[in-house]
């Protein structure tokens, strides 16, 4: 299924059923009173985050979603059937905005917790509800409440503990495929990863953590260059950033220059990302001698307070200790930031 992390849809609740005007008509009951029942409540639209989805692509061709209307009341004091609520499934991490106002309606970070987006129409009253000692034969009824329609903008920000960033061909996909069950595309040319990939790193009885492979950034990504600008939002919720830096680059830039370039792009996109805890990993060290590895690690260490590791995802060199460090740092961090607080749409 094609990855899609932004989409606009319209949701519409069901209108309420109208009340019924009716009088009791039975043999031997010449003066039967009002017995018109109330209508049914219209169905509401809920959104619920589910862990089985990781894209919004299922909304293609389904841009208007409508709950069922309530049924009208009936004679003999029968209340109309309420309209069935509509539950719309979205991936965990989806932000729901009112497209017209820009207000956040819901930030769906908890799985299997339905959030009401639009409320169904109120039920209409039947004439039985208006009977009184002064008015024993009312003919008054009320129509059902109208449906509520809202144009929504859905934005998916993947929830992951660790976000892996770096230039194309830094070895992100290889690392993720080596340490988790994820199988991103791996090849010896830039932009092999065209969509974010999630993988779960299993620590056995200690637990597990989720890693996100964000497609390769290039300089100017924050302004819309390359592919990475489409996916920078997916590192906003991560607790820890891992910078992968290959020792060799076709442009001749040093590892320090490439690390600083990625830092600039993250900061320009969201200044809070510059404050996110990070680990730096010099990759593909199986192609280097020991002296070169130490020289490049020292150069990187001089420009950051973060830990600098040297690893090879192919041979596994340095990988175990690197993963231990990631786990230790994750244990010391707070839960993943949601970044935004929903506005109260019922005010």
Domain count, the chain: 2
Establish if 327 belongs to a structural domain.
Answer: yes
Q: What are phi and psi of 34, to 5 degrees?
A: -65, 140
CA distance readout (Å), 35 to 30, 79, 131, 137, 297: 14, 10, 9, 10, 85
Establish if 318 belongs to a structural domain.
Answer: yes
Structure token pair of residue 194: 């065209």
17 and 71 together in one domain: yes
151 and 166 together in one domain: no
Spatial separation of the C-alpha atoms in residues 111 and 91, rounded to whole Å: 8
Cβ proximity of 228 and 216 under 8 Å: yes
Establish if 320 belongs to a structural domain.
Answer: yes
Cβ proximity of 107 and 97 under 8 Å: no
142 and 207 together in one domain: no
pTM of the model: 0.72
- Owning domain of residue 97: 1-24+31-156
The confidence score (pLDDT) of residue 195 equals: 64
pLDDT along the chain (347 residues), means of 10: 78 97 81 90 96 83 92 95 96 92 93 96 96 91 96 88 84 83 50 64 85 68 49 81 80 82 85 89 85 88 88 89 92 64 42
Domain stop point among 108, 135, 156: 156
Domain stop point among 122, 156, 190: 156
260 and 149 together in one domain: no
The confidence score (pLDDT) of residue 139 equals: 92
223 and 140 together in one domain: no
The confidence score (pLDDT) of residue 63 equals: 86
Residues 6+ apart with CB under 8 A from 133: none
Establish if 342 belongs to a structural domain.
Answer: no
CATH number at residue 139: 2.70.210.12
The confidence score (pLDDT) of residue 128 equals: 93
CATH number at residue 257: 3.40.50.300
The confidence score (pLDDT) of residue 229 equals: 53
Cβ proximity of 241 and 276 under 8 Å: yes
């Amino acid at each position: 299924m094609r990855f899609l992390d932004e989409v606009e849809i319209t949701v519409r609740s069901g209108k309420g059923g109208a009340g019924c005007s009716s009088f009791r008509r039975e043999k031997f009951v010449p003066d039967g009173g009002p017995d018109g029942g109330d209508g049914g409540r219209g169905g509401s639209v809920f959104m619920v985050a589910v862990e089985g989805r990781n894209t919004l692509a299922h909304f293609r061709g389904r841009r208007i979603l409508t709950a069922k209307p309530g049924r009208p009341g009936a004679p003999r004091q029968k209340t109309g059937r309420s309209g069935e609520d509509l539950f719309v499934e979205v991936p965990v991490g989806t932000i729901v905005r009112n497209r017209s106002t820009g207000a956040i309606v819901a930030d769906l970070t908890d799985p299997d917790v339905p959030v009401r987006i639009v409320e169904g129409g109120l039920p209409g009253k039947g004439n039985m509800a208006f009977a009184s000692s002064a008015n024993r034969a009312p003919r008054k009824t009320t129509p059902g409440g109208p449906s509520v329609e809202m144009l929504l903008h859905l934005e998916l920000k993947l929830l992951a503990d660790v976000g892996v960033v770096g230039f194309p061909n830094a070895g992100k996909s290889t690392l993720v495929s080596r340490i988790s069950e994820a199988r991103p595309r791996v090849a010896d040319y830039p932009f092999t990863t065209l969509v974010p990939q999630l993988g779960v790193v299993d620590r056995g009885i200690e637990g597990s953590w989720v890693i996100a492979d964000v497609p390769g950034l290039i300089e100017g990504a924050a302004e819309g260059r390359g592919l990475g600008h489409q996916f920078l939002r997916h590192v906003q919720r991560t607790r820890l950033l891992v910078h992968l830096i290959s020792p060799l680059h076709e442009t001749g830039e040093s590892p320090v220059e490439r690390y600083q370039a990625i830092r600039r792009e993250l900061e320009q996109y969201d200044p809070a990302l510059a404050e996110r805890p990070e680990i730096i990993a010099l990759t593909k060290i199986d192609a280097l001698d020991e002296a070169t590895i130490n020289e490049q690690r020292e150069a990187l260490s001089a420009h950051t307070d973060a830990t600098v590791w040297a690893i090879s995802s192919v041979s596994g060199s340095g990988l175990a200790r690197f993963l231990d460090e990631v786990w230790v740092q994750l244990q010391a961090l707070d839960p993943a930031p949601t970044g935004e607080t929903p506005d109260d749409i019922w005010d």
